[in-house]
Each structure stands twice: as structure tokens, then as C-alpha cells.
Amino acid sequence: MVAQDFTVERFAAWKLSLIDRGYSSESINHYLGAVRAIYRFAEDVDLLEQSPRLTRVKNAASTNRDAKPLCSQGQLKQLLDSADVNVRAMILLCLNCGFGPKDLSDLQWRHFKDNRVTLARTKTGIGQSFTLWPETIEAVENVRKERRALIARLAKRGRLRADEGSFLVTKYWRPWDKNSIAGQFRKLCKAVSVPCYGIYRLRHCASTAMSLVASPHVHRKFMRHSQLQQQVAYTHTPDVEVDHALERTRLKLLPGASEDVESGPQ
């Protein structure tokens, strides 16, 4: 098919096919932008007299954005109470620092210093230093102690082993990759009967909690995003928080309004 044959009707049919295949509006518009750029170039260099009018797809009302629920406090407690030393530290680092499995696989002992961890995100190259919660510090130190004790026991048997500076290593002394990390989390979820939507969901939990206590710019730094709007996909604000905000707004806007103790924010 030549460029001139790509009519508006064909273009509309293509857009509908993407929608039928379950592509999100954001993804479809990304593809549309690429096609527009090609046609603009063809028009600029006189390959086409006029490029077709390719309109954006409106974001359809969606009720399934939060179809994968976040872990509740009770579920997180179940996971933490049942996890072994390594997986407990993994979970706490995800919640404390917004880490994903690739961050955990990149993590080395040299990244920890003075009760902080400093790590650049591979995807964006943006680094950030995070202060560690007391629970996270304890979990990291437990990993360190267990690792040293294991190395010492093996040395007594004449088997010299070293983790080469990696924070998480397999029983074969190789760094855990992100798939191994995700697999360990799935096993834990299954063992304690907690629905598993992947360890990356913990990054969503951390982002959502941070969005409720920090400004958007602090939130962006925490997530190590290059642009302010990127954390929208990771943040799932519950309806109750909107209700509380509406009550606070009422107090600021309506003369003489008093706080409703029954329905107001706690």
C-alpha cells in the first residue's frame, strides 16, 4: 500500500483495531504520534501534497485502572512476618525507596552508607539517596549478618565463597536477576495466601503512600522520574482520600462551615 492509499477511513479502522486489541489510549496516541511524524516529514519533502488529518484518540472512561488492588497494611504485615531474611529486606526496600525488581538486582553493599541507600534507576539514569526506616536498616543488617555467617561456615569446610559485593545472591553465589526476585515474591504470596500482582506492585504502593504526604516535586524525586507527570501511572489515590480533601475544601470555602466529626477527615 502506498502512502496516498492510507486514507482517513483506513486510519480510523486501524485505530479501532488497536482499541479492540486492548491497547490503552496512551499507547494508541503514542503510535499515532509516530505516524503523524512520518506523514509530516513526507509532506515537508514533497513526497505528499497533503498529509491526512490524524486525530488523537480521546481517553475513554475507565473503571479498571485500579483493577489490580494495592496491598493492604494487613497483607503487607502477613508478607513481612512470613518472609525469610532476604525477601523481607526486598519488600522493605521496595516500600521504603520505591524500588522495583531491577533496582534490587542492581543493589550492592557499596550503595549502603550511614543508614541510607543511594541508587540510580537504570531506566532513567536518575539517582537518589534514601534515608532508611529503622525496620529497613534492621532487615538489611540481618542479611549482612546471615551472609557473613554463611561465608564463615563454608570457609571452615574449605569452601571459599564471596558475594562479590552484591546485596542479593543465589545459593550458587550469583546475583539475583529481576526474574528470580519476582519469583521469590510470588512464592511468598502463594505461601501466605495473599493475592499476587507482582513485586513491582510494591512500587505502586510506595508511590501512592508518598503522594498522600508529599508535594508532587518530592514525589517525583522519590520515584526517580525525569518528568513530573510520570508518577501518575504509579499512584492510585483511594476514594476516601478524595472525600477527606473535599471536606477540608468545604471548610475553606463555605462561610461558617464547621467540621463534621462523623464524616470529616480523621
Domain ranges of the chain: 1-61, 73-231, 236-266
Q: Tell me the average pLDDT across 106-117.
A: 96
> How does pLDDT run across 165-200, given as a tens digit for each residue?
999 998 889 999 999 999 999 999 999 999 999 999
At 202 the pLDDT is 96
pLDDT score of 55 = 61
Say yes or no to pLDDT of 70 above 80: yes
Grid cell digits, residue 28: 494508541
Q: Mean pLDDT, to the nearest integer, of 23-32?
A: 74
Distance of CA 77 to the CA centre of its chain: 20
Which tens digits make up the pLDDT trace of 229-258? 887 888 888 888 888 888 888 888 898 777
Mean pLDDT, rounded, for 34-53: 76
**What is the pLDDT, as a whole number, of residue 52?**
65
Angle between helices 85-97 and 178-191 (to 10 degrees): 110
Structure confidence at residue 260 (pLDDT): 58
What mean pLDDT, rounded, does the chain reach?
85
The residue ranking higher by pLDDT, 264 or 74, is 74
**pTM assigned to the model:** 0.71
Distance CA 200, CA 205 (A): 9
Q: What is the pLDDT of residue 266?
A: 42
Mean pLDDT of 50-56: 64
Third-level CATH fold of 73-231 = hpI Integrase; Chain A (1.10.443)
CB contact at 8 A, 223 and 234: yes
**What is the model's pLDDT at position 238?**
81
Condensed to tens digits (0 to 9), the pLDDT of residues 212-232 reads 999 999 999 999 998 888 878
198, 184 Cβ separation under 8 angstroms: no
